[in-house]
């Protein structure tokens, strides 16, 4: 059965945890879907993970559309969310609605994700009114890396906690059905979650949320450049793949590949 907003809220009401994976292509989406991951986010983290950039800022609308289409082909049941890239929703409300509408129309994703709090609340309200479900994203927001300076935990000072609470309330009141909390202290995330009506998904926000999201390449250990504290690796993917590739290279060099069975008669 396809995952819908209704089934996600049912899970929240019943206290069942929601799983979400950020990924970008057909085969990884297919694997996530086959094991019953609830939501797939086509994250702009593809800037670092797929493109090899130092941040997410260069990701374009065309790239998000391309990768969301690939994911859509692999996923039959998961709820697909497309991440709106930097500068695709900040220029004007009209442009933002047009871009979000384009993503939904062209990719058939079920929702869009936007980074930011009170400053995007009006836009969130308008998007939900035209029928586009919105996921908010507060705490550490990678598109503001040049303001933050570096990835950091947000919600340590009284001022930051106050801002997080205001942003959370503004997004929720504007109609965001889900809010991602990134790099927020457990105690602060717990307080936001306990008073929430929307679905709260954490990444580096502790266990008191409705669910968790991690990047596919982090889960399977493909991305070795750095490992944030909140990542749990379930496979040493890069190590295993390198072993296989070394083996392949050796077999070619020794003349062991291809064998007669692997050749046409
Ligand atoms: O871009 C992304 O993958 C994300 C998640 C890690 C929340 O924003």
Mutate which of 68, 109, 113 to test ligand 1's pocket (most atoms within 8 Å of Cβ)?
A: 113
Shared-domain flag, residues 131 and 192: yes
Q: Which residues contact 244 (CB under 8 A, 6 or more apart)?
A: none
pLDDT band at 224 (very low <50, low <70, confident <90, very high): confident
Q: What is the residue with the minimal CA distance to atom 8 of ligand 1?
A: 43
Q: Are residues 126 and 251 in the same domain?
A: no
Average pLDDT estimate for 239-262: 98
pLDDT > 90 in the chain, percent: 97
190 and 204 together in one domain: yes
Distance 154 CA to ligand 1 centre (A): 16
Task: Check pocket membership of 22 for ligand 1, CB cut-off 6 A.
Answer: yes
Average pLDDT of the residues in 169-187? 98
Mark whether 218 and 260 lie in a shared domain: no
Residues that are catalytic:
182
Probe residue for ligand 1, chosen from 18, 21, 22, 178 as the CB with the greatest number of ligand atoms within 8 Å: 22
Are 214 and 175 in the same domain?
A: yes
Mean pLDDT rounded to a whole number for the chain:
97
Whose alpha carbon is nearest atom 1 of ligand 1?
43
pLDDT at 223 over 90: no
pLDDT tens string 124-176: 999 999 999 999 999 999 999 999 999 999 999 999 999 999 999 999 999 99
179 CB under 6 A from ligand 1?
no
- Domain containing residue 18: CATH number: 3.20.20.60
Same domain, yes or no, for 162 and 259?
no
pLDDT of 64 reads 98
pLDDT of 225 above 80: no
Q: What is the pLDDT of residue 227?
A: 87
Determine the average pLDDT of the residues in 174-202.
Answer: 98
* Per-residue model confidence (pLDDT) at position 139: 98
Percent of the chain with pLDDT over 70: 100
State whether 183 and 72 are in the same domain.
Answer: yes
What pLDDT is stored for residue 155 in this prediction? 98
Does one domain contain both 97 and 78? yes
Residues 6+ apart with CB under 8 A from 74: 25, 26, 27, 28, 29, 30, 31, 33
80 in the same domain as 64? yes
Q: What is the pLDDT, as a whole number, of residue 257? A: 98
| pLDDT digit string, tens, across residues 98-135 | 999 999 999 999 999 999 999 999 999 999 999 999 99
List the domain range (segments joined by +) for residue 119. Answer: 5-234
Instruction: Specify the ligand 1 atom closest to the Cα of 45.
Output: 1
What pLDDT, on the 0 to 100 scale, is given for residue 3? 98
Q: pLDDT-based confidence at 75, cuts 50/70/90?
A: very high
Dihedral angle at the C-alpha atoms of 190, 120, 102, 1, nearest 10 degrees?
20
Per-residue pLDDT, 246: 98
Ligand 1 within 6 A of CB of 45: yes
- Residue 131, classified by CB atoms within 10 Å of its CB into exposed (0-12), middle (13-18) or buried (19+), is exposed
Cβ contacts of 163 within 8 Å, gap of 6 or more? 117
229 shares its domain with 246: no
Ligand 1 centroid from CA 1, angstroms: 25
* 82-96 pLDDT tens trace: 999 999 999 999 999
Number of domains, the chain: 2
pTM of the model: 0.97
Say yes or no: 159 and 263 in one domain: no
Of 213, 217, 226, the residue with max ligand 1 atoms within 8 A of its CB, to mutate for a pocket test, comes to: 213
Tokens of 246: 């070394």
Which residues, including other chains, have CB under 8 Å from residue 70's CB and lie 6 or more apart? 24, 25, 26, 29
Q: What residues have CB less than 8 Å from 201, skipping those under 6 apart?
A: 18, 20, 39, 135, 178, 179, 180, 181, 209, 210, 211, 212, 213
- How far is the centre of ligand 1, averaged over its atoms, from the C-alpha of 138 (Å)? 11
CA of 31 to the centre of ligand 1 (A): 18
Q: Establish whether residue 41 lines the binding site of ligand 1, counting it when its CB lies within 6 angstroms of any ligand atom.
A: yes
Residues 173, 59 within the same domain: yes
């Amino acid at each position: 059965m396809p995952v819908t907003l209704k089934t996600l809220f049912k899970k929240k009401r019943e206290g069942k945890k929601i799983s979400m994976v950020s990924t970008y292509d057909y085969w990884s989406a297919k694997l996530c879907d086959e094991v019953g991951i609830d939501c797939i986010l086509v994250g702009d983290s593809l800037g670092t993970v797929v493109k090899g950039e130092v941040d997410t800022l260069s990701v374009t609308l065309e790239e998000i559309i391309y990768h969301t289409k690939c994911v859509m082909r692999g996923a039959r049941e998961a709820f697909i969310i497309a991440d709106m890239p930097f500068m695709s929703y900040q220029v004007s409300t009209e442009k933002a609605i047009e871009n979000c509408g384009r993503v939904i129309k062209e990719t058939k994703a079920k929702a869009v994700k936007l980074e930011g709090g009170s400053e995007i609340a009006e836009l969130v309200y308008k998007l939900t009114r035209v029928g586009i479900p919105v996921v908010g994203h507060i705490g550490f927001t990678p598109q503001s890396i040049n303001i933050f300076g570096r990835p950091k935990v947000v919600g340590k000072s009284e001022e930051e906690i106050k801002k997080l609470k205001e942003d959370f309330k503004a997004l929720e009141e504007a109609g965001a059905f889900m809010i991602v909390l990134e790099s927020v202290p457990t105690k602060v995330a717990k307080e936001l979650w306990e008073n929430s009506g929307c679905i709260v998904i954490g990444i580096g926000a502790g266990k008191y949320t409705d669910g968790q999201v991690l990047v596919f390449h982090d889960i399977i250990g493909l991305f070795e450049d750095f490992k944030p504290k909140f990542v749990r690796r379930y496979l040493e993917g890069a190590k295993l793949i390198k072993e296989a590739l070394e083996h392949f290279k050796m077999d070619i060099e020794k003349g062991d590949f291809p064998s007669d069975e692997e050749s046409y008669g």
